[in-house]
Amino acid sequence: MKKLYKTALSVVFLSYLSACGSSPGDRALSGAGIGAGAGAVGGALMGGSPVTGAVVGGAAGAAVGGLTNKDQIDLGKPAWK
């Protein structure tokens, strides 16, 4: 159950970070990079393969980044204002 919780938390966190960029291509590329890095670390920490984690994380990050628009996330504005 802990493993599923960590995975779900990672996916939610990465979805917030994957929309960095002004065009869909930029967001897909940054999402893929962030997802691959986090997937590799997550795969290693959970006892799985870092390579598999990087591939899955990169694909998920690219998909989320490419499917969002710049109005859905603004990392330059604090959430509390």
Q: Which domain holds residue 37?
A: 21-44+51-64
17, pLDDT greater than 60: no
Number of domains in the chain: 1
Residue that wins the pLDDT comparison between 62 and 73: 62
Residue 58 lies in a domain: yes
Residue 28 lies in a domain: yes
SS3 5: helix
Least confident stretch, 4-8, 11-15, 56-60, 66-70: 11-15
> Could you read off the pLDDT of 31-71 as tens digits, one per residue?
888 888 888 888 888 888 889 989 999 999 889 888 887 76
Is this prediction's pTM over 0.75? no
The DSSP line for 6-56 is: HHHHHHHHHHHHTT-SSSHHHHHHHHHHHHHHHHHHHHHHTTS-HHHHHHH
